[in-house]
Amino acid sequence: MFLTIHATSAIVIGQAITNPAGAFFIGLVSHYVFDAIPHGDEEALDLKKIGFKNFLLLALADHIFVIINFILLFWLKPDLIITPGIIAAVLGAILPDWLGGFYQLIKRWHLPGEIILAVILKPLYVFHQSCHRQIIKTEINLAAGIALQILLLIGSWWII
């Protein structure tokens, strides 16, 4: 799922759970729950399949959409107060994708400490990928996945 969905749904979580540690944890769990829902872009940021340049372009576009989404949220919902719980939930909700991207880059560039980092990150990466494919084994095409993600985004905006 695109980071925009994870980050926006995390705002809802952070509004409901004001304790930053609890909000971070639930935001983290929500990432895996949302990724278990077939969403059509499961292969979108697989470095081996799309190549390094496309990986960077898609990751950049994903983050730009998050920023645009937040700007629109603050503009259209000026009474939205960003609390430590919201910040923690958003960080928890996007962390799995950041770690997964970092893991793929470590493997590609053979960075110093690669073995130690891989020991830590590989199990998280494998678990994350299994959430995409092993819980609900139905696949949908990208167009249907984008439509689903837009509905989830609208739902999150409505709740916020």
Q: pTM for the whole thing?
A: 0.89
Residues of the chain with pLDDT under 70: 45
HEC assignment per residue over 25-84: HHHHHHHHHHHHCCCCCCCCCCHHHHCHHHHHHHHHHHHHHHHHHHHHHHHHCCCCCCCH
Total domains in the chain come to 1
Supply the range of the domain harboring residue 130. Answer: 3-159
Per residue in 10-32, pLDDT (tens digit) is 999 999 999 999 999 999 999 99
